[in-house]
Amino acid sequence: MPLMVARRRSSDETSFTIWTAPSQIEDVHTAVRPSYDARVRRTLALVPLLVIALTSCSEQVDAAVNDVAASALESAVSARLSEAGINLQDGPDCDTDVTRDGSELTGTANCDGTATDGRAVRAEFDGTLSGSGCEGSLELYVDDQSIAQLDQIPDCSVSL
């Protein structure tokens, strides 16, 4: 006797009715494949989680890039102040706001410290840091008096 199959679809599952004769009807329900709408709904539900994960990762990368820039500038500022005969009691601590473009970091930094004689020391940087050096404006201040302004910063570089 021939086998007869009828197929019906609903939003979440496909239903088959199988019979060999009209008196022998058997329903088989299977979730063979979720409907297109169900797959889209599940995919859209994951989008906010993906955005959160990418944002968090991006923030960590930005923080790491700023830490690299701060470290390079802190060393450079300490060296330039030492050359000017100013020794530091603490600092310099640099706050940076840089963006990465390939292997270069471009942006600004403000550094603060205290000399061993108690005077306030600060530095302001606006320029580019790279593996080949640091270029831009670096101005050093002691008690708000400018003591040096450099366009090229010796022994300063970053490696990304």
Strand segments (E) across the chain? 4-9, 14-21, 24-30, 88-101, 104-115, 120-130, 133-142, 145-153
The count of C-alpha atoms lying within 13 angstroms of the C-alpha of 21, restricted to the half-sphere facing its C-beta, is 3
pLDDT given for residue 110 in this prediction: 96
Please give the helix or strand (H or E) that residue 154 lies within, else none: none
C-alpha span between 2 and 17 (Å, rounded): 14
In angstroms, the CA 96 to CA 111 distance is 9
Residues whose CB falls within 8 Å of the CB of residue 66, separated by 6 or more in sequence, listed in order = 96, 97, 98
Q: What is the pLDDT of residues 3-12, one digit of tens each?
A: 554 555 555 5
Residue range 134-149, pLDDT digits in tens: 999 999 999 999 999 9
Under a CB-based contact definition with an 8 Å cutoff, are residues 109 and 94 in contact? yes
Q: What are the tens digits of pLDDT across the range 49-61?
A: 555 555 556 666 6
Whether pLDDT at 66 is above 80: yes
Q: Has residue 71 got a pLDDT over 80?
A: yes
pTM over 0.85: no
- pLDDT, tens only, 86-135: 999 988 999 999 988 888 999 999 999 999 999 999 999 999 999 999 99
Pairing mode of beta strands 14-21, 145-153: unpaired
82 three-state secondary structure: helix
pLDDT in tens, 21-43: 555 544 444 444 555 566 666 66
Average pLDDT for 15-25: 51
